[in-house]
């Protein structure tokens, strides 16, 4: 998978990808799966490879955002029950992201990370009303 992520959108030469046996085996497997092709001496991504590369990058970003959002949730102001809204978490996540060099954290990134953290059991969502605006978040106990 690391070889797939290192192929540039314009294509990459074999020299730039490396000549280790594991890299070449991975390229052969990617070609057999229809994810890369050779065009004019360069390894290029097929449409299938581009989708997989995009999905892999999105998964890597989600992992980074989960760490940032969890740190933000633990550091944000909470009420007496330990609950907080999404907006303060987003603001705090932006601060945490700048500390570790992540360019930006959008509201969607924060919500996706909170859902993933909830699925992992690290945070809890508490519904305080029937609308989606009544959802509060807290660190799981």
Per-residue b or e along 52-73, where b marks 16 or more CB atoms closer than 10 Å to that residue's CB:
bbeeeeeeeeeebbbebbbbbb
pLDDT digits (tens, 9 = 90+) for 49-105: 999 999 999 999 999 999 999 999 999 998 999 899 889 999 999 999 999 988 889
Closest CA to 100 of 48, 129, 64: 64
Confidence band of 1 (pLDDT split at 50, 70, 90): low
Q: Is residue 34 part of a domain?
A: yes
Which structural domain, as residue segments, surrounds residue 97? 59-139
Residues 72 and 41 in one domain: no
Of residues 73 and 5, the one with the higher pLDDT is 73
Residue 2 CA to residue 23 CA, distance in Å, equals: 9
Is 113 a residue whose pLDDT tops 90?
yes
CATH code where residue 110 lies: 1.10.10.10
Residue 78 CA to residue 139 CA, distance in Å, equals: 10
Residue 125 has a pLDDT of 92
Residues 97 and 129 in one domain: yes
Confidence band of 16 (pLDDT split at 50, 70, 90): confident
Determine the average pLDDT of the residues in 101-129: 92
Judge whether 88 and 77 are in contact, CB under 8 Å. Answer: yes
Share of the chain above pLDDT 70, in %: 99
**11 φψ region: left (φ > 0), alpha (ψ -120 to 50), beta (else):** left
Mean pLDDT over each residue of the chain, to the nearest integer: 89
């Amino acid at each position: 998978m690391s070889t797939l992520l290192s192929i540039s959108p314009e294509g990459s030469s074999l020299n730039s990808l490396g000549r280790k046996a594991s890299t070449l085996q991975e390229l052969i497997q990617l070609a057999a799966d229809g994810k890369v092709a050779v065009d004019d001496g360069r390894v290029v991504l097929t449409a299938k490879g581009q989708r997989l590369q995009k999905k892999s990058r999105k998964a890597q970003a989600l992992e980074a955002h989960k760490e940032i959002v969890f740190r933000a949730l633990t550091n944000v102001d909470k009420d007496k029950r330990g609950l907080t809204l999404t907006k303060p978490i987003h603001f705090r996540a932006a601060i945490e992201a700048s500390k570790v060099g992540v360019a930006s954290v959008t509201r969607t990134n924060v919500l996706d990370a909170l859902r993933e953290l909830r699925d992992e059991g690290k945070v809890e969502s508490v519904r305080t009303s029937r609308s989606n605006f009544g959802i509060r978040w807290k660190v799981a106990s």
